[in-house]
């Protein structure tokens, strides 16, 4: 327990139960009293007390709030800190959060998936860093900039693709789960890059695959080698402005 002008922190051991009232997990909860206003002190305590499962802000605090055991600012639009021993394996950051504070999810070994809403505009340094078990992180459309120091040390994240259903940029430990639907790029979280660059790479690769598929489809439709046809294909490959609708192009032949 730390006392002083910065307020009081205390630890309470609690339990989580199932629908039948049976204890399924012991929970170490860090209580933050109404006077606490020092963010850096909370981060220091988080690192030192890595057995904490939940943050709980006592009613009356003007600076912080907690939801699902994670610490936010009072307004709830800045995610400040996730306890190191957070119990959940998947976490969906609430819609409306605009900022993820530096080191907010650093070193949380249980997390395997995080979904980031499009409302997030600012990512603090190392906010997701050093999570070797983080297998997937999804960024909703609209997020364009991410300093990849945010993902430093996340060794399972090796591949990026755009989900064909949600349109989210997904950085995953698995290569394209369905080659017919997904186009991806190799990804290294330790390299300097941002989401807009990843999206550009994906778009270029998608465009290249479309051209290759287009050429193959045309060849399958014509059994004989037609020089005029091959010239049209070459012009298509070299000029992005030419008709891109396959059916229209085929009818033109």
CA angle 78, 83, 86 (to 5 degrees): 115
User: For the chain, where are the E strands, in sequence order?
Assistant: 9-17, 23-32, 54-57, 64-67, 70-73, 78-81, 90-92, 99-100, 113-116, 122-123, 136-139, 159-162, 169-172, 184-186
pLDDT tens-place string over residues 100-141: 999 999 999 999 999 999 999 999 989 999 998 999 999 998
Comparing 241 with 27, the larger pLDDT belongs to 27
pLDDT tens-place string over residues 144-182: 778 778 888 898 888 888 887 788 888 888 766 665 566
In this predicted structure, the answer to whether residue 78 has a pLDDT above a threshold of 60 is yes
pLDDT tens-place string over residues 9-55: 666 656 565 566 654 455 677 778 778 877 788 888 887 777 888 88
Which pLDDT score, from 0 to 100, does residue 209 have? 64
Contact present, 151 and 124 (Cβ < 8 Å): no
């Amino acid at each position: 327990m730390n006392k002083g002008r910065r307020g009081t922190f205390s630890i309470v051991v609690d339990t989580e139960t199932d629908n039948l009232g049976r204890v399924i997990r012991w929970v170490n909860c860090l209580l933050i009293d109404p006077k606490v206003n020092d963010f850096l002190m909370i981060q220091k305590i988080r690192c030192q007390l890595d057995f904490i499962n939940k943050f709980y802000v006592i009613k009356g605090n003007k600076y912080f709030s907690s939801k699902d055991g994670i610490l936010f600012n009072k307004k709830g639009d800045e995610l400040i800190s996730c306890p190191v021993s957070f119990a959940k394996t998947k976490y969906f950051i609430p819609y409306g959060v605009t900022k993820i504070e530096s080191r907010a999810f650093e070193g949380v070994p249980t997390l395997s998936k995080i979904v980031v809403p499009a409302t997030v505009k600012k990512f603090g340094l190392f906010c997701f860093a050093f999570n070797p078990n983080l297998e997937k992180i999804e960024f909703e459309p609209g997020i364009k900039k991410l300093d990849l120091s945010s993902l430093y040390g996340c060794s399972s994240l090796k591949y990026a693709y755009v989900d064909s259903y949600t349109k989210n940029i997904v950085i995953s430990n698995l290569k394209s789960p369905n080659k017919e639907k997904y186009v991806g790029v190799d990804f290294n979280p330790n390299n300097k890059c941002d989401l807009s660059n990843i999206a550009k790479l994906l778009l270029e690769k998608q465009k290249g695959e479309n051209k290759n598929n287009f050429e193959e489809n045309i060849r399958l439709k014509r059994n004989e080698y037609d020089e005029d046809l091959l010239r049209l294909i070459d012009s298509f490959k070299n000029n992005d402005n030419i008709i891109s609708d396959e059916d229209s192009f085929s009818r033109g032949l």
